[in-house]
Chain A
Amino acid sequence: MYKYTEFDSAFVRARIAEFRSQVERRIEGGLTEDEFKPLRLMNGLYLQLHAYMLRVAIPYGTLNSAQMRQLAMIAERWDKGYGHFTTRQNIQFNWPKLADVPDILEALADVEMHAIQTSGNCIRNVTADHFAGAVAGEVEDPRLTAELIRQWSTDHPEFAYLPRKFKVAVIGSDADRAVLRFHDIGLQVVREGGEIGYRVVIGGGLGRTPMIGKVVREFLPKRDLLAYLEAILRTYNMSGRRDNKYKARIKILVHETGLEVLKDRIEAHFEAQKRVLPDVNPAVRARIAEGFVAPALSERPAAALSMSPALRAFVDTNVTAHRDANHVIVTVSTKGIGTTPGDVSAAQMRVLADLAERYSHDELRISHEQNVILPHVHRDDLPAVHAALLAADLATANIGLISDIIACPGMDYCALATARSIPIAQQIGEAFADLDAQHDIGPLKIKISGCINACGHHHVGHIGILGLDRAGVENYQLTLGGDGTQEATLGTRTGPGFSYSEIVPAVERLIEAYLDLRQSREESFLDAYRRVGIAPFKAALYEDRDAKAA
């Protein structure tokens, strides 16, 4: 873990003191809401449908046990006993009171956390592969780069008022687990001729105009990263549209300007910026590297495990190979049947913290799929870890299966939402509650958004669900064939939407169609869709419905 310097701590504490004063002035009447709103947003504080919401950054999704315990304490003391992990590897508290927020921020600062730049038109929390440093095949741990970008972008004066928010993701191998191609900037650590650098992608995004990012540099030497990022951001800051918020993201600039023209502008800025920022101070790089030294893994050979059926099912779905053969990566599902995706109670947070401390070198990760990862677990410890998770209702063996659903908060919480998303996820989970049936269906990613802003990543769901308000009634559009991995594919809309009561039966018809269509159990939903196309699924959705209605 990266440890704060004295400067970092002083900066965060000063920011809290400033915000405390701003909150006091708002409550006492010294600031209007128009004056206060941009200040609270800079500190991650939104006003949602029923209450304030505080979004706390979890840099590149990495937490230690002390931080997780502090989140549990905050959830119990100032919220309603739970937190919500988001699709950007952050945590949101849904019920804080305005007057308590400065105290919450102090509690976060006690464990080197904050809510700065989790809102606003600035560079947001940098995300990364949630298996970073644990999985095989990495050129380098992407968090080294993510932390460097975090430090560079925090309170960067030039990029505090961009045309729109700006999201950066980093991965360290060819396997994309961070939805890289759908970020404003996506960086893949690569090696070319023995030299480490980056493959740079720009202009990806979801939202109302989904676009797959384009490669702007096949290889950028490592030393040039910050100068090149400044060149991209400067180009965007100067040329990005500010007249229409729906056309203000860099993806629109790339689309309207053309990659080659934009690339020339970026390169021109880069040539100038390289002279100002030739490389990162080696001492800074070294200090960051200290925070990401690989844990001293036990060399004890793993014994053959005697597994119960429940543990076997858990291992089949929730356990991923580690770069070290004696260890595994354990993904803890927050998607128990009928639960809210991403919600974790304070008690569960403490269990996860205890497990991380005892079995995973004090590390936890939050995935963009709203699950929690124990990245370094010795194989021999799997039965104990599974038993503890089972006791905490955290052992659902469904990672990558139909009930492992991404769902944004939707209209149950979010002021921007046009329909609910969580209850749809809950109902799908209940409709496919039988884990054996889920295993039979196989790998399937359902992603649900409660509005066009697509926080639930519906465009890249194998089955994507978008909730809209159609004449005062919740209506759900379906897209099929999306893929957020290195294959980077946008889903295709099936046709007319479905009502709240119709959408889960519609998903069931899709699954029935897939089971009829697949050539074998080895052919996944996505593979079958790619083979046969959308037509048979549309028939299942609409003709079967119409036939039943007739």
Chain B
Amino acid sequence: MAAEALAKVATSNHLIEGDVIYFAHGVWLRDLARAEVARTPEEADDLLRRARAFPHETVGVELVDVALEAGVPRPVHFREAFRTRGPSNYFHGKQADHV
């Protein structure tokens, strides 16, 4: 069985707001779909290094796996899916903010 292709994004929480953010070419965004994707271990190391250059904008930068759907990153793990949507117990948080 062929190994699945690597696909990772850098994510964090915003220092002031606390909400979930994703790194994309030098800026932090709220939208996973627009996040920069690393496809090789070297790209992942470089992505993490660049993402960590904002210690006074972010809290805890980490790389997480994503799946690519037509080139657009989507969460792989359910934890990351919740981080993109907000709580599932009722309609509030990020989901409501985007309405």
Are A50 and B76 in contact (CB-based, < 8 A)? no
Residue of A nearest to B65 (CB): A472
Let me know if B17 is at the binding interface, CB within 8 A.
yes
Let me know if A411 is at the binding interface, CB within 8 A.
yes
**What residues of chain A lie closer than 8 Å to B93, measured between beta carbons?**
50-51, 80, 95
Query: How many positions in chain A have a CB within 8 Å of any CB in the partner chain?
Result: 30
> Which one of A27, A32, A340, A412 contacts B82 once the chains associate, using CB atoms below 8 Å?
A412
Let me know if A522 is at the binding interface, CB within 8 A.
no
Bits for A83-101, please: 1 = Cβ < 8 Å to B, else 0: 0000000000001111100
**What residues of chain B lie closer than 8 Å to A80, measured between beta carbons?**
92-93
Are B76 and A97 in contact (CB-based, < 8 A)? no
**What residues of chain B lie closer than 8 Å to A47, measured between beta carbons?**
13, 18, 59-60
Are A50 and B20 in contact (CB-based, < 8 A)? yes
Let me know if A474 is at the binding interface, CB within 8 A.
yes
**What residues of chain B lie closer than 8 Å to A49, measured between beta carbons?**
20, 79, 82-83
**What residues of chain A lie closer than 8 Å to B18, measured between beta carbons?**
47-48, 50-52, 95-98
**What residues of chain A lie closer than 8 Å to B90, measured between beta carbons?**
340
Question: Could you jot down 22 A-B contacts, CB within 8 Å?
Answer: A27-B56, A32-B55, A33-B55, A33-B60, A47-B59, A49-B82, A50-B18, A50-B19, A50-B20, A50-B87, A51-B93, A98-B15, A98-B16, A98-B17, A99-B16, A340-B90, A422-B87, A423-B88, A423-B89, A426-B89, A472-B76, A472-B77
Q: Smallest Cβ distance from A266 to chain B, in angstroms?
A: 39
Interface centre among A27, A51, A469, A472 (most CB of B within 10 A): A51
**What residues of chain A lie closer than 8 Å to B15, measured between beta carbons?**
26-27, 98
Are A420 and B88 in contact (CB-based, < 8 A)? yes
Bits for B71-99, please: 1 = Cβ < 8 Å to A, else 0: 00000111100110011111011100000
Let me know if A532 is at the binding interface, CB within 8 A.
no
Q: Smallest Cβ distance from A101 to chain B, in angstroms?
A: 10
**What residues of chain A lie closer than 8 Å to B56, measured between beta carbons?**
26-29
Q: Which of A220-266 contact B (CB under 8 A)?
A: none
A-binding residues in B (CB < 8 A): 13, 15-20, 55-56, 59-60, 76-79, 82-83, 86-90, 92-94
Q: Which of A43-85 contact B (CB under 8 A)?
A: 47-52, 80
Complex Cα spacing A412 to B89, Å = 7
**What residues of chain B lie closer than 8 Å to A29, measured between beta carbons?**
56
Complex Cα spacing A447 to B81, Å = 25
Are B60 and A50 in contact (CB-based, < 8 A)? no
Let me know if A473 is at the binding interface, CB within 8 A.
yes
**What residues of chain A lie closer than 8 Å to B89, measured between beta carbons?**
340, 412, 420, 422-423, 426
Bits for A331-352, please: 1 = Cβ < 8 Å to B, else 0: 0000000001000000000000
Residue of A nearest to B76 (CB): A472
Complex Cα spacing A51 to B83, Å = 10
**What residues of chain B lie closer than 8 Å to A32, measured between beta carbons?**
55
**What residues of chain B lie closer than 8 Å to A422, measured between beta carbons?**
87-89
Are B78 and A473 in contact (CB-based, < 8 A)? yes
Complex Cα spacing A474 to B20, Å = 21
Are A413 and B87 in contact (CB-based, < 8 A)? yes
Are B92 and A474 in contact (CB-based, < 8 A)? no
Apart from A51-B13, A80-B92, A98-B17, 17 more pairs, CB < 8 Å: A27-B16, A29-B56, A47-B13, A50-B18, A50-B87, A51-B18, A51-B93, A98-B16, A99-B16, A412-B82, A413-B87, A420-B89, A422-B87, A422-B88, A423-B89, A469-B79, A474-B78
Interface centre among B55, B79, B89, B92 (most CB of A within 10 A): B89
Bits for A14-40, please: 1 = Cβ < 8 Å to B, else 0: 000000000000111100110000000
Complex Cα spacing A340 to B90, Å = 8
Complex Cα spacing A367 to B60, Å = 34
**What residues of chain A lie closer than 8 Å to B79, measured between beta carbons?**
49, 411, 469
Q: Smallest Cβ distance from B89 to chain A, in angstroms?
A: 4
Bits for A405-445, please: 1 = Cβ < 8 Å to B, else 0: 00000011100000010110010000000000000000000
Complex Cα spacing A33 to B87, Å = 25
Bits for A377-413, please: 1 = Cβ < 8 Å to B, else 0: 0000000000000000000000000000000000111
**What residues of chain B lie closer than 8 Å to A413, measured between beta carbons?**
87
Complex Cα spacing A80 to B93, Å = 8
Given the known A-B contacts A33-B59, A99-B16, are A50 and B83 also in contact in the complex, defined by CB atoms under 8 Å? yes
Complex Cα spacing A97 to B19, Å = 9
> Which one of A95, A97, A469 contacts B16 once the chains associate, using CB atoms below 8 Å?
A97
Complex Cα spacing A28 to B43, Å = 31
Complex Cα spacing A282 to B90, Å = 51
Are A472 and B78 in contact (CB-based, < 8 A)? yes
Complex Cα spacing A51 to B88, Å = 15
**What residues of chain A lie closer than 8 Å to B94, measured between beta carbons?**
50
Complex Cα spacing A52 to B89, Å = 18
Residue of A nearest to B77 (CB): A472
